[in-house]
Amino acid sequence: MIKSAVIAVGGNALIRAGEKGSILEQIANARRISKAIVTLIQSGLHLAVTHGNGPQVGAQLLRSERAAGQVYEQSLDVCVAATQGEIGYILQQALQLELQLAGLSMPVTTILTQVVVRDDDPAFRNPTKPIGPFYSRPAAEERIRQYGWDMIEDSSRGYRRVVPSPDPIDIVEAEVIRRVIDQGILVVAAGGGGIPVVREGGLLRGVDAVIDKDRASMLLAIELAADLLVFSTDADHVYLHFKQPGQRALELVRLEEIRRHHQAGEFPPGSMGPKVEAAMNFLDSGGRKAIITSLDNLADAVLGGAGTQIIP
């Protein structure tokens, strides 16, 4: 029986396609997220909630760079910490409201979470993680000239800034998160993949990077010994031959089958690849089930079998 889960909310769930990303829009979207999460709590699941921060951390970094010379600049790790607080605050309020409306008495807290990476990770020499908004080609070229950004074309929707995305190896606050959940408190943690830090002589030092939130969520689920790991994204399912003739949704799929599809190149690194890889690693480490689905289908996927269900 599934008793515990980590729910990873996609980075664009708070700022949906076509929105400007205002705080009011993010609050409204947080309500949608929270309704689904409260439904899962009502079913008896013990949860930790993680979230992305791609749009928000890009905006935070841009504010810092544009205000340079007038106020102090923020490094990328500090920008990640700032967005953990910002998004955690928005989600906490929405979750508290939905819990109250459901007649549930459950405290909610956000834990600023540091995630350890290796200082010699190859990602620091090869930035790949998209952050911030999409730009046209001329606008992207201007920012390369003006700010020295690394930029790539992202999913045919325009150009985005990319930053290093090293692999997470340890979650500093994992034991704290576990103790808080054991007290019956709903936890928002590892926001945006966690604040990237490296170990130096037993101490921690922040580094300029953004950790992939799917990999960090997987690592948190393993360290918490969760039964279930759920990725909420833009798509209802994982698809074979995505946007090609013969497109087919995967529904209930075993680990070895989805591994074969992954090895055949079905899931691109800039799209579904990180989620599928994280799901496979979670199951390889003893997890009982991983689910990939849309936010709208989140509750139905966990409680009723919608979305892509991956089992050992």
Q: Where are the domains of the chain?
A: 4-114+167-311, 127-163
| Average pLDDT of the residues of the chain | 93
Of 120-129, 130-139, 158-167, 287-296, the one with minimum mean pLDDT is 130-139
126 is catalytic: no
Evaluate the CA torsion angle 281, 287, 291, 297 in order and state its sign. Answer: negative
Q: How confident is residue 36, by pLDDT bands cut at 50, 70 and 90?
A: very high
* 223-262 per-position pLDDT tens digit: 999 999 999 988 899 999 988 888 999 999 999 999 999 9
289 is catalytic: no
Q: In residues, how long is the chain?
A: 312
Distance CA(143)–CA(255), nearest Å, equals: 42
Q: Who's near 312: CB < 8 A, 6+ residues apart?
A: 254, 255, 283, 287, 288
pLDDT of residue 129: 82
Which one of 12, 21, 206, 273 is the catalytic residue?
A: 12
pLDDT of residue 155: 61
Of 106-110, 150-154, 195-199, the one with minimum mean pLDDT is 150-154
Task: Give the pTM.
Answer: 0.91
Question: What is the arithmetic mean of pLDDT over 257-282?
Answer: 93
Distance CA(41)–CA(35), nearest Å, equals: 10
Look at residue 145 and tell me whether its pLDDT is greater than 70: yes
82: closest CA among 108, 107, 56, 62? 56
* 164-218 per-position pLDDT tens digit: 999 999 999 999 999 999 999 999 999 999 999 999 988 999 999 999 999 999 9
Which one of 213, 289, 297, 307 is the catalytic residue?
A: 213
pLDDT of residue 173: 98
Distance CA(251)–CA(234), nearest Å, equals: 16
Which one of 10, 11, 192, 287 is the catalytic residue?
A: 11
Q: What are phi and psi of 293, to 5 degrees?
A: -160, 180
11 is catalytic: yes
189 within 8 A of 220, measured Cβ to Cβ:
yes
Alpha carbon separation from 262 to 258, 272, 283 (Å, rounded): 6, 10, 15
Which one of 29, 192, 194, 275 is the catalytic residue?
A: 275
53 is catalytic: no
pLDDT of residue 58: 84
Q: How confident is residue 76, by pLDDT bands cut at 50, 70 and 90?
A: very high
Question: What is the arithmetic mean of pLDDT over 134-160?
Answer: 86
275 is catalytic: yes
pLDDT of residue 166: 96
Report the CATH superfamily, name and number, of domain 4-114+167-311. Answer: Acetylglutamate kinase-like (3.40.1160.10)
Which one of 52, 129, 194, 297 is the catalytic residue?
A: 129
> What percentage of the chain has pLDDT greater than the value 70?
99
> What percentage of the chain has pLDDT greater than the value 90?
76
Look at residue 149 and tell me whether its pLDDT is greater than 70: yes
